[in-house]
């Protein structure tokens, strides 16, 4: 269970989708003065060296973040994400990639709280060092070496009654799909108005499909975005895309995703099978209809692949 290291995958296409949405959600929560909590069930190391041993070995950032740097006319969702990345690279060269703890810490105000869970013995040591380097106040941020699925239960509802829960396990263990679904169900019983953001991989596993369909049957308002960048491999291995399922999403997120997903599909496409979907439905936490039947943005017809990335590391500032 401790074989997974996110540093191998830092800045890849899945991180782009997940973190662009996370940055948007945090920006939305900051529009009100009222404090809120962010709970990250699988925090990882927090900050990754893109020119280091782990990320440099895999090179997945080349087909992720690197393709966005300098790309023309990014939509607002992507622009906000790139600005957040730039904050961790003040020299203008994207050599550091912030994970969800670092991105969240940057967004929080002094009266907001961050609660992190990480079970990997090495990752949590790196995470602790990262937060010290970033100057995270102890009164604001806590880290628990604990299974985030179990730890989440005792933190809900947060005292502020405003909060974001990010659930993004590695899914190396097939039980993670079942446990993610149960965590959302249990979480909603304790914190019906909470915003739950679930990341999951698009892989050739029936558990991934079943979890997504089960989440769509929850009696709450939700958004479901997926981004596929290539055709699944013949051996069934590898990540050909990812999805984000958001319960009780910001009301602004749907329109921003409508603008951003076609752009991301074009920029991140690795072959003609790239596509995206955006679905919405369910009911609000108060029980009123959140809209008509789930609205589905159909996948686009196959098209030419986007140009390949031309540089390993480019300035995160837009040209």
- The residues annotated with a catalytic role in the active site are 168
Sign, CA dihedral 42-11-262-172, equals negative
Sign, CA dihedral 242-116-218-263, equals negative
Q: Kindly list the distances between the CA atom of residue 166 and the CA atoms of 41, 77, 139, 184, 266, in Å, as whole numbers in the listed order.
A: 6, 18, 21, 10, 27
**Total residue length of the chain:** 319
What is the DSSP annotation of 184-219? HHHHHHH-TT-EEEEEEEE-S-HHHHHHHHHHHTSS
Q: 3-state DSSP call for residue 57?
A: helix
Could you give the CA distance from residue 19 to residue 7 in angstroms, rounded to a whole number? 15
> Of 104, 127, 281, 100, whose CA–CA distance to 199 is shortest?
100
Please list, in sequence order, all residues whose beta carbon lies within 8 angstroms of the beta carbon of residue 147, skipping any fewer than 6 positions away. 117, 119
Could you give the CA distance from residue 268 to residue 271 in angstroms, rounded to a whole number? 9
Could you give the CA distance from residue 90 to residue 294 in angstroms, rounded to a whole number? 42
């Amino acid at each position: 269970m401790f074989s997974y290291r996110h540093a191998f995958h830092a800045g890849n296409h899945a991180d782009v989708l997940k973190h662009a949405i996370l940055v948007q959600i945090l920006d939305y929560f900051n529009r009100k003065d009222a404090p809120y909590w962010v709970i990250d069930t699988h925090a990882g190391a927090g900050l990754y060296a893109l020119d280091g041993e782990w990320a440099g070995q895999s090179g997945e950032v080349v087909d992720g973040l690197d393709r966005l740097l300098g790309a023309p006319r990014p939509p607002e969702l992507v622009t906000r994400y790139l600005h957040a990345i730039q904050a961790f690279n003040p020299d203008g060269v994207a050599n550091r990639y912030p994970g969800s703890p670092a991105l969240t810490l940057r967004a929080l105000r002094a009266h907001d709280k961050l609660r992190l869970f990480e079970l990997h013995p090495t990752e949590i040591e790196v995470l602790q060092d990262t937060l010290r380097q970033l100057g995270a106040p102890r009164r604001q941020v806590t880290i628990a070496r604990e299974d985030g699925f179990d730890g989440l239960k005792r933190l809900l509802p947060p005292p502020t009654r405003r909060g974001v829960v990010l659930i993004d396990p590695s899914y190396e263990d097939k039980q993670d799909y079942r446990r993610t679904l149960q965590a959302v169900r249990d979480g909603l019983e304790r914190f019906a108005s909470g915003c739950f953001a679930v990341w999951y991989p698009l892989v050739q596993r029936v558990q991934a499909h079943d979890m997504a369909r089960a989440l769509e049957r929850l009696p709450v308002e939700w958004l479901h975005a997926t981004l596929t960048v290539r055709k699944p491999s013949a051996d069934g291995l590898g990540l050909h895309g990812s999805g984000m399922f958001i319960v009780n999403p910001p009301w602004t997120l749907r329109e921003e995703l409508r603008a951003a997903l076609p752009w991301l599909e074009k920029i991140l496409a690795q072959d003609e099978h790239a596509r995206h979907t955006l679905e919405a439905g369910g009911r609000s936490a108060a029980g009123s209809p959140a809209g008509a039947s789930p609205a589905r943005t159909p996948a686009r017809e196959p098209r030419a692949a986007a140009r390949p990335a031309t540089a390993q590391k480019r300035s995160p500032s837009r040209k």
